[in-house]
């Protein structure tokens, strides 16, 4: 089993204004002369914690990480205006051009896999490889499974907490009910919903529950951006038309070297999505981790990702 590389600090941090409203925070770490790779974090709204740097050999990679619109150190915080999948795809290109990078490897898990697919299908000529984990294509069956009915059968105890902010009369459409609260001007109502939404995801992300992860996801600032931005994207169906846009357009990237890593018991992003992507894209290496859920920090997924990044550099 491969283990994380030692912690490192970025050698450069900066801000890039990407619209009249939004400025994104980015950082570079590793080797300035190394092979460029951009990490697309999950959520949307999750931001980039420092330990993400440890999945990449520090002497071989030039690692670029950035906080997507509205989250992490990007500003304004939890902003939903001018915040769509295609805005983020454009931001990635603006960042690449700003840094003077011709092509790069794209690394993304969960929502990051969604955005990686959207970006690479739009700009395949800019991608030298893809490393994807916990596949999520933001289709209605995936959203219904996790936010309406499905995952509740596996985590009924955590599900009860997720239901609490929503009156029984509104529970036939949980996304809509949460959206109304997460966009409410009353901060108390907004935070109650944000914490319940975020802790639900943290409670189900690992094969074995992680109390520290649940505590982090329940913090006011993180939960507000995470829940608001996620729900905003999900209520708008990811801004994809048709909803299976990413599968329909996979032909555009089948020539790009790729690895797909998927936990067998991923409840947040069930393996059916990774399997369907694998069937549409047989050229990509497909790795099933037999004893893992959703989180990239689970040992089997960590090992597979580090092996993939080592093989690409």
- Residue 62 in any domain: the answer is yes
DSSP letter string over 79-115?
A: --TT--HHHHHHHHHHHHHHHT-S-EEEEEETHHHHH
- Mean pLDDT throughout 69-76? 98
Q: Which of 238, 262, 288 is the last residue of a domain?
A: 238
Residues 42 and 158 in one domain: no
Residues 37 and 127 in one domain: yes
CATH number (domain holding residue 280): 3.40.50.1820
Residues 48 and 186 in one domain: no
Residues 92 and 121 in one domain: yes
Q: Which domain holds residue 178?
A: 141-238
Nearest to 95 by CA among 163, 23, 151, 43: 23
The domain total for the chain is: 2
What's the gap between Cα 76 and its chain centre? 19
Q: What is the pLDDT of residues 135-186, one digit of tens each?
A: 999 999 999 999 999 999 999 999 999 999 999 999 999 999 999 999 999 9
Residues 77 and 99 in one domain: yes
Residues 228 and 86 in one domain: no
The answer to whether residues 120 and 141 touch, using CB atoms and an 8 Å cutoff, is: no
Nearest to 198 by CA among 142, 140, 158: 158
Residues 30 and 100 in one domain: yes
Q: What is the pLDDT of residues 264-308, one digit of tens each?
A: 999 999 999 999 999 999 999 999 999 999 999 999 999 999 999
Residues 134 and 154 in one domain: no
Q: Which of 183, 212, 238 is the last residue of a domain?
A: 238
Q: Residue 252: which residues within 8 A CB-CB, separation 6 or more? A: 120, 121, 124
- Residue 262 in any domain: the answer is yes
Exposed/middle/buried for 241, CB within 10 Å: 0-12, 13-18, 19+?
Answer: exposed
Q: Residue 179: which residues within 8 A CB-CB, separation 6 or more? A: 231, 232, 235
Percent of the chain with pLDDT over 90: 99
The answer to whether residues 226 and 194 touch, using CB atoms and an 8 Å cutoff, is: yes
Residues 252 and 214 in one domain: no
Nearest to 79 by CA among 90, 67, 65: 67
Residues 108 and 124 in one domain: yes
Q: Which of 200, 223, 238 is the last residue of a domain?
A: 238
Residues 71 and 152 in one domain: no
Mean pLDDT of the chain: 98
- Residue 1 in any domain: the answer is no
Q: Residue 158: which residues within 8 A CB-CB, separation 6 or more? A: 199, 200, 203, 204
pLDDT for the residue 147: 98
- Residue 102 in any domain: the answer is yes
Residues 219 and 246 in one domain: no
The SS3 assignment for 263 reads: strand
DSSP letter string over 34-70?
A: SEEEEEE-STTT----GGGGGGS-TTTEEEEEEPPTT
Phi, psi of 264 (to 5 degrees): -55, -40
The residues assigned a catalytic role are 110, 266, 294
pLDDT for the residue 109: 98
The SS3 assignment for 16 reads: strand
Q: Rounded to two decimals, what is the model's pTM?
A: 0.98
- Residue 7 in any domain: the answer is no
Distances (CA, A) of 60 to 33, 132, 275, 313: 8, 19, 31, 6
């Amino acid at each position: 089993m491969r283990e994380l590389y030692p912690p490192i600090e970025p050698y450069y941090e900066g801000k890039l204004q990407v619209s009249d409203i939004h400025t994104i925070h980015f950082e570079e770490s590793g080797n300035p002369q190394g092979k460029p790779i951009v990490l697309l974090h999950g959520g949307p709204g999750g931001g980039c914690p420092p330990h993400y740097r440890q999945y990449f050999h520090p002497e071989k990679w030039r690692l670029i990480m950035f906080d997507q619109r509205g989250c992490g150190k990007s500003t304004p915080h939890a902003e939903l205006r001018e915040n769509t999948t295609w805005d983020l795809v454009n931001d990635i290109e603006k960042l690449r051009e700003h840094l003077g990078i011709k092509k790069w490897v794209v690394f993304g898990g969960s929502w990051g896999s969604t955005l990686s697919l959207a970006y690479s299908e739009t700009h395949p000529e800019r991608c030298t490889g893809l490393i994807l984990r916990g596949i999520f294509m933001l289709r209605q069956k995936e959203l219904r499974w996790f936010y309406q009915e499905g995952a509740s059968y596996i985590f009924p105890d955590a599900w009860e907490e997720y239901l609490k902010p929503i009156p029984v009369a509104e529970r036939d459409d949980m996304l809509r009910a949460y959206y109304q609260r997460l966009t409410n001007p009353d901060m108390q109502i907004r935070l109650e919903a944000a914490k319940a939404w975020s802790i639900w995801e943290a409670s189900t992300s690992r094969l074995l529950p992680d109390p520290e992860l649940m505590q982090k996801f329940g913090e006011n600032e993180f939960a507000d951006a995470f829940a608001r931005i996620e729900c905003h994207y999900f209520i708008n169906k990811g801004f994809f038309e048709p909803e299976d846009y990413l599968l329909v357009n996979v032909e555009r990237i089948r020539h790009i070297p790729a690895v797909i890593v998927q936990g067998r018991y991923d409840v947040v992003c069930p393996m059916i999505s990774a399997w369907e992507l694998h069937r549409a894209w047989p050229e990509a290496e497909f790795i099933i981790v037999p004893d893992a859920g959703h989180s990239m920090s689970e040992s089997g997924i960590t090992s597979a990702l580090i092996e993939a990044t080592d093989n690409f550099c």
